[in-house]
Amino acid sequence: MIRKDIQEAVDLIKELVEIPSPSGNTKQVIQYADEFFTELGVETIKNRKGSLTAVIPGKQDDQERMLTAHVDTLGAMVKEVKPNGRLKIDLIGGFGFSSVEGEYCRIETSKGEIFHGTILMKQTSVHVYKDAKTAERNMDNMEIRIDEKVASAEEVKALGINTGDFVSFDPRVQQFENGYLKSRHLDDKASVGLLMRLVKEIVEENMELPYTTRFLISNNEEIGYGGNSGIPPETVEYVAVDMGAMGDGQETDEHTVSICAKDASGPYHAGLRKNLVRLAERENIGYKVDMYPYYGSDASAAIRAGHDIIHGLIGPGIDSSHAFERTHAESLEATYDLLKAYVTSPMIEVY
């Protein structure tokens, strides 16, 4: 049985993943989050990059906390309208062409018109192409078949489709009674849903936080700079809430919260990480400490940008990241409970 607050978070996640938001085209999903916070009576701030911050005043405002999760996702752009009426694409974010082969997609034109298609190898038919199984999955061999009666570049352009149009992937979200949730873009809309539900609980339960806490919904994480601006100088602790990466040699699983010790950017703040472990143990929350070898977060982006902060990274365990992602309600619950324990607890001693 999924806990009521976690099911509410899952419902938010399912709504979020259905809103197309590849990096660079996130206005609609940011507006969704803004309306959610505004209905709760929470102050929100937008910056010029398009990210959104919800502000919860605390007992102390000369020192603040910031938590962030990102709504931008992997996606693509039209690179070229090909002579045969198919579309060549370039990728947005770090993933391989093989992870989107056969995926349904939608193309949004510069005028906001929507068209649908499928991402395929041009050598897909085994009845025609000898190398259908072995040809390299790359920009030259992959294309979008548009679900319109078109057979030339001129016919495609007449629809309004051109170079630079955004391409988003069908999330195919499914929730199961046994607690599993699978969908594209759980990185990082799972964490966004958790933060939104946490803000709702803070407001509705009149919880008084020890410090003013800002919840940043960033929108450029997948391209490396989502969380490196809009951070007030009062910010002391900055925690990115993002996916825990799973695979060979990893500790992270789909049933606990993952606490990151190090990723490709280097170690996270040891004191903050140890405090997160202490809180998890105090609250009997299942956790795993892990390292993600090919990974960077909004927290590491903030450090690289020169912000004087203590940075940390936690999140639910996500299987098959940047591909066909899946997690479990137990991991969402553990992450939610650790976040709640964290925002209601004292900061660590800086020195």
Annotated binding-site residue numbers for Zn(2+): 70, 187, 222, 242, 322
Q: Indicate if 113 belongs to the active site.
A: no
What distance in Å separates the CA atoms of residue 25 and residue 40, rounded to the nearest whole number? 25
Q: Which residues are annotated as a binding site?
A: 70, 187, 222, 242, 322
Q: Please, which residues have CB within 8 angstroms of residue 67's CB and are 6 or more apart in sequence?
A: 195, 213, 214, 215, 216, 238, 239, 240, 241, 339, 343
List 121's β-bridge partners, or say none.
Answer: 142
What distance in Å separates the CA atoms of residue 299 and residue 313, rounded to the nearest whole number? 7
Within 13 A of 198's CA, how many CA atoms are on the CB side?
Answer: 31
Amino acid at 254: E
What distance in Å separates the CA atoms of residue 218 and residue 222, rounded to the nearest whole number? 10
Amino acid at 290: D
List 80's β-bridge partners, or say none.
Answer: 88
How big is the chain, counted in residues? 351
DSSP string, 200-254: HHHHHTT--EEEEEEEEEES-GGGT-TTSSS--TTEEEEEEE-PEE-STT----T
What is the token pair recorded at 243? 């996916």
- Which one of 64, 108, 143, 221 is the catalytic residue? 221
Pick the closest to residue 246 from 294, 184, 201 (CA basis): 294
**Positions marked catalytic:** 221
